[in-house]
Chain A
C-alpha cells in the first residue's frame, strides 16, 4: 500500500484534563463540591456525629438557646436537640434527593433518548404524556397522595420524580434530535453498528454532560420539595428531617427564634450548593471557547510586552496615490498559557482607486484577519499589536471614531455566507432601507427609490416583490445580490469581500463575479477580494497578494503572478489548483 507520510505535518499532542480536575481548579467548584462531599460524609457518619439518638427528647432542653451545654444549636419545643436532628435529617434529605433524581432521570432521559432517536409514534405519544404531566400541579398532587398513602417520603419523592421527569425528557430529546443528524452517527450506521451500540457509544456521550448539569438543578429542587412537604406536615413526624425540624422550631418561634435559623440556613446553603455547582459544571463541561476577552488594561500590557520583543519599527507613511494603505499590521491572539500567538506578522499593503486586489491563501494564512482589521470588525479577543490602516491618509486604527465613520460608508463589506448575514425576522426591503438610512441621511421613501433601482441593477428581476420577501424565501445567489446591493447603496470607495462566492453554486458564482466586475468599473470601486480560489482571482482581480502563515509571500499584477510566479509557495498553489481544472474545452 502507498504511504504518504511525507505530506503529513507532525501534530503536537494536546494535554487533556479530566473533568473532575477542571472542576477542582475552579474555586467555586472546589468549595461547593467539598461542601456536598462533607454533607454525604455527615449523613454516613450520623450515628457517631449526632449527640443524641433520633428520637431522644430532653425536657431540660426545651426551647434551649444556642450554645447551651450539651445542645450546641439549642433545642426545640418538644425538647429535641436541633443539632442532632439536623445531622440525622441529612440522611433523609439525601435519600429523598437520590430518589427524585434517579426516578426522573431514568424515566425522562430514557424516553427522551428513544423518542429523539427513533422519532415516529413513540415520540408523539411520549411528548403528549410529558406535556400532560407538566400541566399537573405538582404540590397539589403530593398533598393528594398524602391522603392516600399517609406519611410516606419515598413514595412522595418518587411521585415528584415522575412530575419532573418531563424536564429530562425535553432536554434529552432535543439534544438527541440534533446529534442524530451528525455525520458520525451516519458513519457509525454505515460501519454496521447496531442501534443499541450507536446509542451507547455515540448518543449517550453527547447527552451525558447536559444530564449531569440538569441533575444538579433537579437535586436543588428535590431538597426544596422534601423540606416543603415535611414542613407542611406531610412528612413522617417520627423520622428526623430538615423540614420537620424547621416546622417544630417554627411552631415555637416566639419562644426560641434561633431554632428557625439553623435548619433554614442548612436548607438554603445546600440548595445554593447544588445550583452553583450546576453552573460551574456547565462552564467546565460545555466550555466552547478558550479565548478570553481581555480588559482594556490587560490588552495594553500584552501589546506593550509584544512590542518590547519586536523592538522599534520604523514609522511608516501611507502611500500618496493609494486610497487605502496598511502599514506594519500585526494581529495576535492570546493562548491559554498567556503567550501571544501572532497570526499576521507586520504586513504592508496598498490599494488604488478602482483596483480589485486579490488576497489569496489557504486556511489559517491570516487573509480574513486583514480584511476584518480593515473594517474594524476583528473578533473581540483579537489583539492588534501594531500597525495602521490609512484611508485617504487618515489612520483609522488610531481612532475608533474614524473607523466607525468609515465603516459602511467609505468601506463596505460583502460576507461569505449571505444567508447568515440577513436577519430572518425582517423583510429584505426593511433591512436594506434601515441599513441605508443609517449611513446616509435621507427619508425612507427616498432610500426605497434608490434601493429599487439598485436591486434591478444587481440583477434582481422583480425588486418590488423581492423587497417584501423574507430571507428564507430567496435563494443563496439572490441573497448575495441583495447584500451586494446593500454594500454599494452607501456609495463606498472600497468594498471588502470575504470569500463572496464560496457558498454559491459555480454557475451563480460566475454571474456574481461578472456583477462585481461591472460595479467596480461603473463606480470606480476599489475592492479587496479575500479568496482561496485562484480561478476567481484570475477572473476578477488586477493585482494579487499571496499569503502564507500570516506573511505576504508575493505581491504582483495578476498576469505576472500566474505567468511567472517567483515564490515556490505560489508555484505550489498554482500547481495544486490547476491539477483539478478543466483546461481544454472544445467549443
Chain B
C-alpha cells in the first residue's frame, strides 16, 4: 500500500469561548492516499468545513496531529506554512467572495506563482485557463464579468497553479445551479485524471459527494460516524445517521420519492 499523502490523527480543533474552549472537532482520524478523493459529508455544525480549514492551517489545532507526506504540519509557523502552498491548495464555497473583485483574472492566477517565485507567468496562466475551459482572453477581465460557474473555474485554476498534490474543496458546487454543478463536478474529475491530484471534497449533499468520491466520511457534531468506500456508504450505510441523511435527500422522481418518504417516516417512527 502506498504511504498516505495526508494523515489526521486524533485531531481536535477548538475555538476560545467565554471562559474556556469549545472543541468543534473531537478526535478525527483518517488518511488520504495520493490521487484519491475523500468525500466529507455532514450537516451544518458537523465540523466538515473546520477540518478542511485545519488542514489548510486556517483553524487552530488543539490536539492530535496533521501530517503531510510524514511531516507534521499542524501548528507550524506562518513561514513554514507558506512553503506548503505548492502542495496543499483550496477551492472555497463562495466563488463571489473568494476572488478579489479588484484584480483581473490574470493577476489572480499569477499571485500564487509570484509568491512561490515561479517565473512561468503568462504562459502558465493561458495553460490554466485552458485547463478549466475558460477562453484565453479571460485573463484581462474582472471576476464580476463572469457567472458563478465560470468564477468557480477561475478559483479552480488558481488552486491548480502551483501543481499541488492535494486540493481541499469546501462545498465548491453548493452556490451553483444544478446544470452548472454537473459540469463543474466533471471538470474536477477530468483534472484529477490529468494531474493525479487528490481531493478532500466537503459537501452537505451526500449525492454530490457520492458522485465524485472514492471514499466517504460521514461527520456529525465533530466526529466521524462512518468512513468507507463510497459505494458501501451510500448503498449500505452502517451507521443509522448515514441512513437518515440518505433517506432525507429527495429524489427527482415522484414515485420513488414517495417510497423513500414512507421509508423515512417509518424509520423516524421506529427510532
- Is A1 interfacial (CB 8 A cutoff)? yes
Given A538-B251, A577-B178, CB of A184 within 8 Å of CB of B98? yes
Contacting residues, chain A, for B103 (C-beta < 8 A): 201
Are A187 and B92 in contact (CB-based, < 8 A)? Answer: yes
Check if A191 sits within 8 Å of B115, measured CB to CB. yes
In chain A between 549 and 586, which residues have their CB closer than 8 angstroms to a CB of chain B? 558-559, 562, 572-586
Q: In the complex, A105 Cα to B116 Cα: how many Å? A: 33
* Contact A10:B135 (CB < 8 A) given known A505-B43, A577-B178: yes
Q: How far is the CA of A562 from the CA of B255 in the complex (A)?
A: 10
A14 and B145: CB pair below 8 A? Answer: yes
Measured between beta carbons, the chain A residues less than 8 angstroms from B8 are none
A314 interfacial contact with B, CB 8 Å: no
Instruction: Give B209's nearest chain A residue, CB to CB.
Output: A580
A547 → chain B closest CB, angstroms: 12
**9-residue interface stretch from A372-380, A405-413, A490-498, A507-515:** A507-515
Partner of A505, one of B44, B236, B250: B44
Is the pair B263, A11 in contact by a Cβ cutoff of 8 Å? no
A183 within 8 A of B: yes
Selected contact of B190 from candidates A2, A190, A578, CB within 8 Å: A2
Question: Is there an interface contact between B251 and A583, defined as CB atoms closer than 8 Å?
Answer: yes
- Closest Cβ of chain A: how far from B146's Cβ, in Å? 6
Q: Specify which chain A residues have a CB less than 8 angstroms from the CB of B253 in the assembled complex.
A: 538, 562, 578
Q: Which of A64-72, A156-164, A527-535 contacts B (4 or more CB under 8 A)?
A: A527-535
A535 & B177 in contact (Cβ 8 Å cutoff):
no
The answer to whether A581 touches B252 (Cβ under 8 A) is: yes
CB distance from A490 to the nearest CB of B (A): 29
B178 touches A534 (CB 8 A): yes
Docked CA distance A50–B89 (Å): 65
Tell me the complex Cα distance, A1–B124, Å: 13
Q: CB within 8 A of B147: which of A5, A9, A16, A195?
A: A9
- Is A192 engaged at the interface, CB distance under 8 Å to the other chain? yes
Let me know if B112 and A192 touch, CB within 8 A: yes
Indicate if the CB atoms of B207 and A186 lie closer than 8 Å. no
Chain B nearest Cβ from A3, distance in angstroms: 6
Q: What is the size, in residues, of chain A's interface with B at 8 Å between Cβ atoms?
A: 68
- Digit string of A531-547 for contact with B (CB within 8 Å is 1, else 0)? 01111111100000000
Closest residue of B by beta carbon distance from A9: B147
Contact check, A5 vs B133: say whether CB atoms are below 8 A apart. yes
Q: Which of A303-344 contact B (CB under 8 A)?
A: none
Q: Which residue of A lies closest to B89 (CB)?
A: A190
- A-B contacts, CB under 8 A, total: 218
A149 within 8 A of B: no
- Whether B249 is near chain A, meaning CB under 8 Å from some CB there, is yes
Binding site secondary structure of chain A: helix
| Given known A507-B245, A574-B252, contact A539–B261 (CB-CB < 8 A) | yes
CB-based nearest A residue for B141? A13
When the two chains form their complex, are residues B248 and A572 in contact, meaning their CB atoms are under 8 A apart? no
* A296 close to B (CB within 8 Å): no
What is the CB-to-nearest-CB distance from A516 to chain B, in angstroms, rounded to a whole number?
13
Partner of A1, one of B145, B194, B250: B194
**B98 in contact with A183 (CB, 8 Å):** yes
What residues of chain A lie closer than 8 Å to B142, measured between beta carbons?
14, 16
Min CB gap B77→A, angstroms? 12
Q: Which residues of chain B have C-beta atoms less than 8 A from A476's C-beta? A: 44
Return the chain B residue nearest A534 by Cβ.
B252
Which residues of chain A are near B130, meaning CB under 8 Å?
Answer: 1, 3
- A389, B69: Cα distance in complex, Å: 64
Question: Is the CB of B22 closer than 8 A to any CB of chain A?
Answer: no
Q: How far is the CA of A559 from the CA of B179 in the complex (A)?
A: 21
**CB contact under 8 A between A5 and B187, given known A192-B112, A580-B208, A583-B251:** no
Which A residues touch B99, using CB under 8 A?
184, 187
Known: A197-B115, A577-B252. A2 touches B191 (CB 8 A): yes
- Is there an interface contact between B146 and A510, defined as CB atoms closer than 8 Å? no
Residue B62, interface by CB 8 Å = no
When the two chains form their complex, are residues A579 and B236 in contact, meaning their CB atoms are under 8 A apart? no
Q: Report the separation of the CA atoms of residues A565 and B188 in the bound assembly, to the nearest whole angstrom.
A: 29
A580 interface neighbour in B44, B94, B181, B194, Cβ under 8 Å? B181
17 contacting pairs across A/B (C-beta < 8 A): A2-B191, A11-B141, A13-B141, A187-B90, A188-B111, A192-B86, A192-B116, A507-B244, A509-B248, A535-B250, A539-B261, A562-B252, A572-B179, A576-B178, A577-B178, A582-B207, A586-B236
